[in-house]
Structure 1
Amino acid sequence: MNIDDERIREAVKQTEILRPPKRSLATFGTTNIYYYLVTEPVYSELIKTAAETVIREGRVIAERPKIVTPFYLSRLEGFSLEARQYFDGLIKNYGSNAPGLFYTYKNEAKELSIVSDNLLAVVAKLNDDIDRRGDPLTSIIRGQDELWDVSLMKFIYEMTQSSLPDNISQLETRGLLDVDSSGIPADTRIRINELFNMVARGEFEPSELKKELDRWGLFEEYEDRFFAIFKKGR
């Protein structure tokens, strides 16, 4: 294990989710979680002055979980050879059409402030403020200053892990994880229809729709409908 791996391992170990969200990630919509990530300043061990705490604020935006299969993942761009070997292993172990959930996130960093108070006191004040606002989707994370983004990633991972059973249960109840004879989940068929409608309204690029159809190996099936979009535009 190299030095960077050891630093990351230590940052993960030191990360604590002091206040998790009170709701799971939404199954059928976007989830917007505000976070306070508190750390002791990286210079605190070098400069023995009055206690200070660094507060980083931001939003983690979780898009609606997407149902995918190992076949679909194997056709995504931008992955290394090792990642593709992993996808091949999924296909061998579970079959090319076994449905799973794919989560995507965006982090929007907001503010960074340094407060002249110890970390526990700062956390107590933040908790009081959140309680007064009654916001169920605000979290507090304790992390390591130098690798604060690693702490944020641990938070995202744990949030995903805790939401997964509920998300799967809701999708199964609606039959959206059912796979048809072509190996396509029911939710994907619905999503493709939505994308066609979005393209027709000018809200989605035809080229992106084409890529999505190709990833599922469905362009030939939807080819006539795809080219009909351009005929209507004449």
Structure 2
Amino acid sequence: MDEQELRRAVFFTRVHRKPIQKIYTFGETEFIYHIVSPENAQTIIRKGKLTCDKPLIITAETIKDTFGGFDISAIELVEKKYPELFKQLRGLGYQVRNQLISIETVDETQEIIIDRIKNKINENDSRTAILSAPDNLWMFAVLRLTADLIRKSSNENMRDLEERGFFKTTEERINEEIEFLFSEAQTNKAYIKELADRLQEYGLFEKYEDRFFKLVKH
């Protein structure tokens, strides 16, 4: 697509109905789209489906896979020196599949077709979009719709996952677990054995040895 064609795509693509539903954080989401394209005295109607898988989580650990051809020790050094950089790089990856369901050509105007589709859609339908675009640029309209869905969903998806601790590194999760067991063991001695087992399992007993025996004596 050259610069002039890109300008045409941006200028002539119109959104007549937006989906209200956002992409689910923990499951698959389906959206239906209708794209109406005027062509001479006729109108081409395309109906399709977008299937969005649940977002892929990119953590501070998995982000290392982004840096191909780099020495792992150099990456780890940068991670230790600039931890905020790796936190900023974490995020979500989206996988969206497009399926064209039907295509038909009718002898009616674009405006009539758009109104008819709107009237057929249940007002409670939160997953259907209606767009218009030049016939040779209809796929651009689908991509624009996809980008808009991701853009409006990403903040909520990130928030859902952060609240459930999905972006924490293995080290952060282990530290939280150890601190929780220390806290519980102070009031319930039954947790001391589990704490000891976890410290041994994670190879952290030496690090917490003084604190552990101080807890046992009390």
Q: Percent identity?
A: 24
For the residue of structure 2 that corresponds to 1:24, the secondary structure is coil
Q: 1:71 to 1:37 in 2, by over 3 A?
A: farther
Partner residue in 2 for 1:177: 167
Taking the aligned partners of 2:64 and 2:12, their CA distance within structure 1 comes to: 34
Structure 2 unmatched ranges of 5 or more: 70-78, 174-218
Residues 8, 147 of structure 1: 8 Å contact kept? no
- The yes-or-no answer on 1:36 pairing with 2:34 is yes
Task: Count how many residue pairs are aligned between Structure 1 and Structure 2.
Answer: 163
What secondary structure, in the 3-state scheme, does the structure 2 residue paired with 1:146 have? helix
TM-score, length basis structure 2? 0.65
Q: Which stretch of the first structure deviates more once superposed, 134-143 or 173-182?
A: 173-182
Tell me: CA distance 1:19–1:74, structure 2 relative to 1, closer, same or farther (3 Å).
farther
Q: Deviations over 1:68-117 (max 9, x none)?
A: 147746647xx9x9xxxxxxxxx989634542010011111111111211
The residue type paired with residue 97 of structure 2 is: K
Q: Which runs of 5+ in 1 are unaligned?
A: 45-50, 82-90, 184-234
Find the partner of 2:106 among 115, 119, 124. Answer: 115
Match 1:102 to one of 88, 93, 117: 93
Looking at structure 2, the residues matched to 66 and 145 of structure 1 have their Cα atoms a distance apart, in angstroms, of 33
Q: Which amino acid aligns with 1:159?
A: L
Q: Map 1:10-159 onto structure 2 (within 5 A).
A: 10-41=8-39, 44=40, 51-69=41-59, 72=62, 75=65, 95-96=85-86, 98=88, 99-131=90-122, 134-159=124-149
Flag the structure with larger Rg: 2
**Measured at CA, do residues 152 and 70 of structure 1 come closer, stay the same or move farther in structure 2, by a change above 3 Å?**
farther
Shift of 1:122: 0.6
Q: CA distance change for structure 1 residues 171 and 121 in 2, over 3 Å: closer, same or farther?
A: same
TM-score of the two chains, using structure 1 as the length reference: 0.60
C-alpha RMSD over aligned residues: 3.1
CA apart distance, 1:62: 0.5
Q: Please tell me whether the aligned partners of residues 25 and 163 of structure 1 are also in contact (alpha carbons under 8 angstroms).
A: yes
